[in-house]
Structure 1
Amino acid sequence: MHNNYSVNVACLCDKNFNKYLEEIKSFFTFKMLIIDRDIKNDTLFNFDAIIVDSETINKIPENLKELPKILIKKNQNLKNETNLAEISFKLPLNIFKFNKEIVELCKKSEFHKNSVIKIKDYTLDKNARVLKKGEKTLKITEKEINFICTLKNSKSPLSKKFILEKIWLYSSGTETHTIETHIYRLRQKVKEIFGDHTFIKNIKNGYTL
């Protein structure tokens, strides 16, 4: 049995299947908690996914609806319900495959969550190296991503010297116009694709969003 869990999975199934999962949960490398439809929004658990069946997939509590879903198919012809879940399993379960795929699903979901950042009206996908707004997208470099993220996380404007040495990793003796050129190109790309003149602001003390 594994004692150190990094993945929390909610289970919202019928009583018989809940009982079955309780009996085999010692084989899981994730922590499973059986819940009911009345679970409160202030639950202490931060779930990474939810296990449902054909009867409960449309009865998920509002605060858990955005979680990745694992569907237990009791009826082999449930095509519509299958489309509502990220992965599905037929009975009887292969316990080890069940465990492995749930853990992998949660890891992928967490990776995606950490790689996507909201900035103003934009979405920055660090993994795909893309800045999005509505239907428009802009491919950007890794250094540009680091620059934008650092600006977002900074409470005060960033000086040219800081950007030069800490983000673009130039030596302290490099002329600041080098970094000005990089930032100008990024601002022009944003302006060209999104028509945004003020995504990156250049004020007296440095650059900010």
Structure 2
Amino acid sequence: MTNNKLVVYESKDIYKILYEIKEKLKIDLIFLEKKKDLEIYLNSNPNDLVLSKKKIDNLNQIILNNFPYKINKLIEIINLKILKKNFLINSNLSIGKYKLDINSKKIYLNKQELDLTEQEIKLLTYLNNKGKAASVDELQKDIWGYSENLETHTVETHIHRLRKKFLDTFEDKNFIISKKKGYLIKKFL
């Protein structure tokens, strides 16, 4: 499905309505009825949206306090909240000692910044999420959409250029490491 989840809290009827149109919403729906269940769920999923009729402290929440809602208006509210949440998350990703802002296509270390291309962002986030070495074939397939075993130096060329940018801007020559099994970000050593 998707990475976006919406927890409907205590409102079984609203959950049923949203479940009928969840494909249009492009979200995963979860229904929770008890406050204890909501607390347990949010401990491990703190960024998920919660839809409820009353305010709950410290949540990324949609409060339905003016019933009845037109369904189109409710969908619009949910989609806007998801967009805002994703924008904020993408503005402050940690990659080792760096902060990556996907929205502005920049990576930061203290007050220094470096502009990145779309492919460089894809490469960095992929390596960051992977958590271990990624082979050239893997990167060709998953980042560039090439078939495996294709003779190309795309990966090596991009890695070389990205390393040079990090060296020139941050004086960091070891941010992306080459290992026998592929490439990885230094923090995973």
Task: Give the TM-score category using the shorter length.
Answer: 0.5 to 0.7
Residue equivalent to 2:107: 131
TM value normalised by structure 2: 0.56
Q: Residues 67 and 208 (structure 1 numbering): CA distance in 2 closer, same or farther, change over 3 Å?
A: same
Cα deviation, 1:38-82, whole Å, max 9, x if unaligned, reads 8773248965135577xx5xx71xxxx14145496xxxxxxxxxx
Pick from 38, 41, 44: which aligns with 2:39? 41
Residue equivalent to 1:118: 94
- Alignment of structure 1 residues 65-80 onto 2, 5 Å: 65-68=58-61, 70=63
Residue equivalent to 2:27: none
Q: Residues 112 and 164 (structure 1 numbering): CA distance in 2 closer, same or farther, change over 3 Å?
A: closer
- Alignment of structure 1 residues 1-209 onto 2, 5 Å: 7-10=6-9, 25=14, 29=18, 41-43=39-41, 47-49=48-50, 60=57, 65-68=58-61, 70=63, 95-96=69-70, 99-109=74-84, 111-112=86-87, 115=90, 117-154=93-130, 156-159=132-135, 161-162=136-137, 165-166=140-141, 167-168=143-144, 169=146, 172-174=150-152, 176=153, 179-209=155-185
Contact 1:29/1:99 (8 A) holds in 2? no
Partner Cα separation in structure 2 for residue 173 and residue 138 of structure 1: 30
Partner Cα separation in structure 2 for residue 135 and residue 156 of structure 1: 28
Identity %: 26
Cα deviation, 1:136-160, whole Å, max 9, x if unaligned, reads 443322222232233234454334x
Partner Cα separation in structure 2 for residue 27 and residue 40 of structure 1: 18
Q: Residues 184 and 29 (structure 1 numbering): CA distance in 2 closer, same or farther, change over 3 Å?
A: same
Indicate the RMSD between aligned Cα atoms, in angstroms: 4.4
Q: Residues 194 and 70 (structure 1 numbering): CA distance in 2 closer, same or farther, change over 3 Å?
A: farther
| 1:49 counterpart letter in structure 2 | V
Contact 1:10/1:33 (8 A) holds in 2? yes
Cα deviation, 1:164-198, whole Å, max 9, x if unaligned, reads 74344498333x4x644422221122233334332
| 1:67 counterpart letter in structure 2 | N
Structure 2 counterpart SS, 1:187: helix
Partner Cα separation in structure 2 for residue 186 and residue 43 of structure 1: 39
Unaligned runs of 5+ in 1: 1-5, 12-21, 73-91
| 1:42 counterpart letter in structure 2 | I
Q: Tell me how many residue pairs correspond in the alignment.
A: 163
Higher helix share: 2
How far off its partner does 1:94 sit? 6.2
